[in-house]
Amino acid sequence: MEKIEVHRVINFLLLKGCTARQIQDEMKSVYGDDSPSYDTVVRWKRNFQTGHMSFTEPRSGRPSLTDDMDTVNKVEALSQENRRVTIQMAMHETDLSYGSAWNIIHNQLHMFKVSVRWVPAY
C-alpha cells in the first residue's frame, strides 16, 4: 500500500466524521497487516486537522542551482576560458557550493581532469 493511498483514505474517513480508532479499525479490516498502526493514524489525522498535510501543495525548499541553465553556462564558459580552472575557482566565481560546482562539471558538462585540464568526456 502506498503512502499517498493511506493518506487519502485517512483524510476521507476523517471528513466522514470517523474517530482515529474507527479509521484504524476500518483500515485494518480492509488492508489487514498492510494497514498503519493506531499511532500513525492519530498523527496523520492530527496533521490533516491542522492543515499541515495536503495533496496539492509542493514541498518547500531551496531550488537546485545545478538545474539552472544560466549557472551551467557560466561554469562552462569558465572552463572554456581557462582549461586549468579548479572546482574551487568555479565555486567562487559562481557562488556555488563545492558539491554543486563538481556536479555541474562532472555530471552535466561531462568533463574530467586530464593532466590538470578539463576536457570533454567524449
Q: Which CATH class is domain 3-50?
A: mainly alpha
pLDDT over 60 at 67, yes or no: yes
Q: What is the mean pLDDT of residues 9-37?
A: 90
pLDDT over 70 at 85, yes or no: yes
Least confident of 32-36, 73-77, 106-110, 111-115: 111-115
| Number of C-beta neighbours around residue 33 at 10 A | 5
Comparison of pLDDT for 67 and 73, the residue scoring more? 73
Give me 38's grid cell.
Answer: 493506531
Dihedral sign (CA 3, 22, 42, 51) = positive
Alpha carbon separation from 2 to 6, 37, 41 (Å, rounded): 7, 15, 14
pLDDT over 60 at 57, yes or no: no
* Distance between CA atoms of residues 13 and 26, nearest Å: 9
Q: What pTM did the predictor assign? A: 0.46
C-alpha 29: how far from chain center: 34
In a 10 Å sphere around its CB, with 0-12 CB exposed, 13-18 middle and 19+ buried, how is residue 53 labelled? Answer: middle
pLDDT over 70 at 58, yes or no: no
